[in-house]
A = this chain, B = another copy of it.
Amino acid sequence: MTYAPITISAKFDLFSEQWQPKVIAEMNDYQFKLVRLQGDFVWHSHADTDETFIVLHGQLRIDFRDGAVELKAGDMFVVPKGKEHKPYAATEAQVMLIEPRGVANTGDLAAGERTASNDVWV
Protein backbone atom coordinates (compact mmCIF):
# COMPACT_ATOMS: atom_id res chain seq x y z
CA MET A 1 0.00 0.00 0.00
CA THR A 2 0.99 3.63 -0.36
CA TYR A 3 1.24 5.51 2.89
CA ALA A 4 0.48 9.22 2.91
CA PRO A 5 3.09 11.69 4.08
CA ILE A 6 2.06 14.58 6.32
CA THR A 7 2.75 17.71 4.26
CA ILE A 8 3.20 20.47 6.80
CA SER A 9 2.46 23.42 4.49
CA ALA A 10 -0.76 21.74 3.29
CA LYS A 11 -1.88 21.36 6.90
CA PHE A 12 -1.31 25.10 7.48
CA ASP A 13 -3.52 25.83 4.48
CA LEU A 14 -6.45 24.16 6.29
CA PHE A 15 -6.84 26.86 8.93
CA SER A 16 -6.26 30.57 9.35
CA GLU A 17 -7.07 31.35 12.98
CA GLN A 18 -4.25 32.38 15.28
CA TRP A 19 -3.23 31.01 18.70
CA GLN A 20 -5.25 27.80 18.14
CA PRO A 21 -2.82 24.85 17.89
CA LYS A 22 -3.88 22.03 15.58
CA VAL A 23 -2.56 18.49 16.00
CA ILE A 24 -1.12 16.90 12.85
CA ALA A 25 0.63 13.81 14.23
CA GLU A 26 1.33 11.80 17.35
CA MET A 27 4.49 9.96 18.43
CA ASN A 28 3.91 7.78 21.49
CA ASP A 29 2.20 10.19 23.94
CA TYR A 30 3.58 13.32 22.25
CA GLN A 31 1.83 15.54 19.75
CA PHE A 32 3.02 17.65 16.83
CA LYS A 33 0.92 20.80 16.57
CA LEU A 34 0.85 23.66 14.09
CA VAL A 35 -0.04 27.16 15.18
CA ARG A 36 -0.22 30.63 13.66
CA LEU A 37 1.00 33.28 16.08
CA GLN A 38 0.76 37.05 15.85
CA GLY A 39 1.01 39.66 18.57
CA ASP A 40 1.56 39.04 22.24
CA PHE A 41 0.56 35.96 24.19
CA VAL A 42 0.14 35.62 27.97
CA TRP A 43 2.85 34.71 30.45
CA HIS A 44 2.62 31.04 31.38
CA SER A 45 4.65 27.95 32.11
CA HIS A 46 4.24 24.19 31.86
CA ALA A 47 4.98 22.66 35.25
CA ASP A 48 5.44 19.11 34.03
CA THR A 49 7.11 19.28 30.64
CA ASP A 50 9.54 20.96 28.30
CA GLU A 51 7.98 22.49 25.17
CA THR A 52 9.57 22.61 21.71
CA PHE A 53 9.09 25.46 19.22
CA ILE A 54 10.20 25.10 15.59
CA VAL A 55 9.62 28.21 13.47
CA LEU A 56 8.57 27.32 9.92
CA HIS A 57 7.71 30.75 8.56
CA GLY A 58 8.24 34.26 9.88
CA GLN A 59 9.92 35.21 13.11
CA LEU A 60 9.08 34.54 16.73
CA ARG A 61 10.43 36.00 19.94
CA ILE A 62 9.98 34.07 23.17
CA ASP A 63 10.28 36.32 26.19
CA PHE A 64 11.47 34.98 29.52
CA ARG A 65 11.56 36.79 32.85
CA ASP A 66 15.34 37.02 32.47
CA GLY A 67 15.70 37.58 28.73
CA ALA A 68 14.47 36.36 25.37
CA VAL A 69 15.27 34.20 22.36
CA GLU A 70 14.73 35.38 18.79
CA LEU A 71 13.80 32.64 16.32
CA LYS A 72 13.56 32.88 12.56
CA ALA A 73 12.32 30.28 10.08
CA GLY A 74 14.44 27.17 10.47
CA ASP A 75 15.27 27.82 14.11
CA MET A 76 14.08 25.85 17.11
CA PHE A 77 14.14 26.22 20.88
CA VAL A 78 13.13 23.98 23.77
CA VAL A 79 11.56 25.90 26.66
CA PRO A 80 12.49 24.08 29.87
CA LYS A 81 9.83 22.68 32.15
CA GLY A 82 8.55 25.27 34.61
CA LYS A 83 10.16 28.28 32.86
CA GLU A 84 7.79 31.21 32.41
CA HIS A 85 7.58 32.34 28.81
CA LYS A 86 5.56 34.59 26.53
CA PRO A 87 5.67 34.17 22.73
CA TYR A 88 5.49 37.31 20.57
CA ALA A 89 5.41 37.78 16.79
CA ALA A 90 5.27 41.20 15.11
CA THR A 91 3.78 39.64 11.97
CA GLU A 92 2.26 36.20 11.66
CA ALA A 93 4.63 33.33 12.35
CA GLN A 94 3.93 29.69 11.50
CA VAL A 95 5.22 27.46 14.25
CA MET A 96 5.37 23.74 15.06
CA LEU A 97 4.95 22.85 18.73
CA ILE A 98 5.98 19.47 20.09
CA GLU A 99 4.89 18.46 23.56
CA PRO A 100 3.05 15.71 25.43
CA ARG A 101 -0.61 15.14 24.66
CA GLY A 102 -2.83 17.19 26.96
CA VAL A 103 -0.62 20.26 27.39
CA ALA A 104 -2.62 23.49 27.34
CA ASN A 105 -1.31 26.45 25.36
CA THR A 106 -1.63 28.70 28.39
CA GLY A 107 -0.21 26.13 30.78
CA ASP A 108 -3.59 25.72 32.43
CA LEU A 109 -6.83 24.66 30.77
CA ALA A 110 -8.71 27.06 33.04
CA ALA A 111 -6.51 30.08 32.34
CA GLY A 112 -9.16 32.09 30.54
CA GLU A 113 -10.00 33.38 27.10
CA ARG A 114 -6.56 32.75 25.61
CA THR A 115 -6.77 29.02 26.36
CA ALA A 116 -7.33 27.13 23.12
CA SER A 117 -9.34 23.97 22.70
CA ASN A 118 -6.99 21.06 23.13
CA ASP A 119 -6.48 18.02 20.94
CA VAL A 120 -8.03 19.59 17.83
CA TRP A 121 -6.71 17.82 14.72
CA VAL A 122 -6.37 19.18 11.24
Say whether A90 faces chain B, with CB atoms less than 8 Å apart: no
Q: B32 near A1 (CB under 8 angstroms)?
A: no
Q: A78 near B25 (CB under 8 angstroms)?
A: yes
Q: Could you say which of A14-22, A61-69, A105-113 contacts chain B? A: A61-69
| Total number of A residues with any Cβ neighbor in B under 8 Å | 38
Interface flags for A45-59 (1: CB within 8 Å of B; 0: not) read: 000011110000000
Q: B8 near A75 (CB under 8 angstroms)?
A: yes
- Determine the distance from Cα of A6 to Cα of B79 in the docked complex, in whole angstroms: 12
Complex A-B: 20 CB contacts under 8 Å: A1-B66, A2-B69, A2-B70, A3-B62, A3-B67, A3-B68, A3-B69, A5-B70, A5-B71, A5-B75, A6-B76, A6-B77, A24-B76, A25-B76, A26-B50, A27-B49, A27-B52, A27-B78, A27-B98, A32-B76
Q: Identify the A interface with B (CB < 8 A).
A: 1-9, 24-28, 30, 32, 49-52, 62, 64, 66-72, 74-78, 81, 98-100
